[in-house]
Structure 1
């Protein structure tokens, strides 16, 4: 299946694709195909050889890392319009994360050979891919800095808001507490204590593998405040 105008409009909600020149954006779409992944389907795994550039059209994709034996960290939750897989696509080295569909997902795929052909035809695309790497790297560094210097309550609020935005900003955030604890950098017990306080305060509602943001304004205020809890 080839990308449609509706797919293009979804991709244009993301800043990277929206900032491509019209000619380069058209070339990317012409060389791409549409793929689907079932719930929990693995798009690629940590250590795999690069298989090209991907973007989310419908559903969610989660990037999961394994920094040490027995550890699993949720790196990002990606919703429609988000691109991923650019690092290994650009440097040719193994994938650093698993990319796993959360629920059924529809994806745009630009294969590794297609990326090579496009870059040979228009070398400026190398710079575009570099900008995508830089944007994601800056986001990762900002997250690390924030996590290191902020109280737990603030980190939880920011992580929830970021997860909600990356998932499209509507409906409950579909995330397990173990995953969220890895993002925030706390134990599951500490995370659960913080979430229970937010629920008691009427800020969130906890469900099975999901968290509904009931009062986004208060959560955003908490995300910018130096709040703590015992």
Structure 2
């Protein structure tokens, strides 16, 4: 089955906004489908890449590894998001390690196909839009890390890991603690407060966001009177 038929939602991804339908289909169908049943590094920090990856299904974890061995999770990329395009176009080593989490399907677009698409001003504009969205996201996260309480940080990451169309977060609470940079006990306490206030529900192996508007308010104002800041 062709990629465009197997994953029709990709035709609406931001990378292909406003392109002719035949160009969208042609691009998607020329990409190579890759499926990962187990967690697998697909781009490695410091190594080069020969193309970009478009998430068809599942999740890619983006992580930066410092020289002293610390791992910082930067982002979790979901369906319709791309990774590796900057490095592929610039012919530079990967700035972070990208790991396909279990049961993730990716479309690989080789660099020559990327440059073919770059002949279209609309495609260039779409790439610039993706870069802009990342700048906004990174600026927001920097502000959260510097000025927000632990509870606000947890709420911020819960918002990032979910959406209106996908309210379930399947990452574990231990994983969330690692992303936020706090203890498992702190995660449990804050999730308990959010659950009691009917903002989230704790399902078996998942967290469901019930009230996104309330979650966003907690990001701005905190979740509990005894919230503390990260030292």
Shift, 1:4, TM fit:
2.3
Shift, 1:27, TM fit:
4.3
Question: What does residue 152 of structure 1 align with?
Answer: 150
Matches within 5 A, 1:14-29: 14-22=13-21, 24-29=23-28
Question: What does residue 41 of structure 1 align with?
Answer: 40
RMSD: 3.0
Q: 1:138 to 1:215 in 2, by over 3 A?
A: closer
Match of 1:136, SS state, is helix
Work out whether residues 89 and 112 of structure 1, in 8 Å CA contact, stay in contact via their aligned partners in 2.
Answer: yes
Match of 1:219, SS state, is helix
Residues paired across the two proteins, number? 225
Work out whether residues 16 and 126 of structure 2, in 8 Å CA contact, stay in contact via their aligned partners in 1.
Answer: no
Task: Find the aligned partners of 1:73 and 1:192 in 2 and give their Cα distance.
Answer: 21
Shift, 1:104, TM fit:
0.8
Unaligned runs of 5+ in 1: none
Please report the TM-score for the alignment, with normalisation by the length of structure 1.
Answer: 0.79
Q: 1:189 to 1:213 in 2, by over 3 A?
A: same
Q: 1:93 to 1:188 in 2, by over 3 A?
A: farther
Task: Find the aligned partners of 1:79 and 1:136 in 2 and give their Cα distance.
Answer: 14
Between 97-106 and 207-216, report the one with greater CA deviation.
207-216
Question: What does residue 137 of structure 1 align with?
Answer: 135
Task: Find the aligned partners of 1:46 and 1:187 in 2 and give their Cα distance.
Answer: 27
Question: What does residue 170 of structure 2 align with?
Answer: 174
Please report the TM-score for the alignment, with normalisation by the length of structure 2.
Answer: 0.79
Question: What does residue 61 of structure 2 align with?
Answer: 62
Shift, 1:74, TM fit:
2.0
Task: Find the aligned partners of 1:177 and 1:66 in 2 and give their Cα distance.
Answer: 22
Match of 1:169, SS state, is coil
Work out whether residues 37 and 43 of structure 1, in 8 Å CA contact, stay in contact via their aligned partners in 2.
Answer: no
Task: Find the aligned partners of 1:137 and 1:14 in 2 and give their Cα distance.
Answer: 19
Question: What does residue 218 of structure 1 align with?
Answer: 214
Between 191-200 and 96-105, report the one with greater CA deviation.
191-200
Deviations along 1:156-194, one digit per CA (max 9) or x if unpaired, are: 11210210129x514x31223454345435455544442
Work out whether residues 86 and 133 of structure 1, in 8 Å CA contact, stay in contact via their aligned partners in 2.
Answer: no
Deviations along 1:199-223, one digit per CA (max 9) or x if unpaired, are: 4545434567643335545333323
Q: 170, 191, 197: which one pairs with 1:195?
A: 191
Task: Find the aligned partners of 2:58 and 2:46 in 1 and give their Cα distance.
Answer: 24
Between 75-84 and 62-71, report the one with greater CA deviation.
62-71
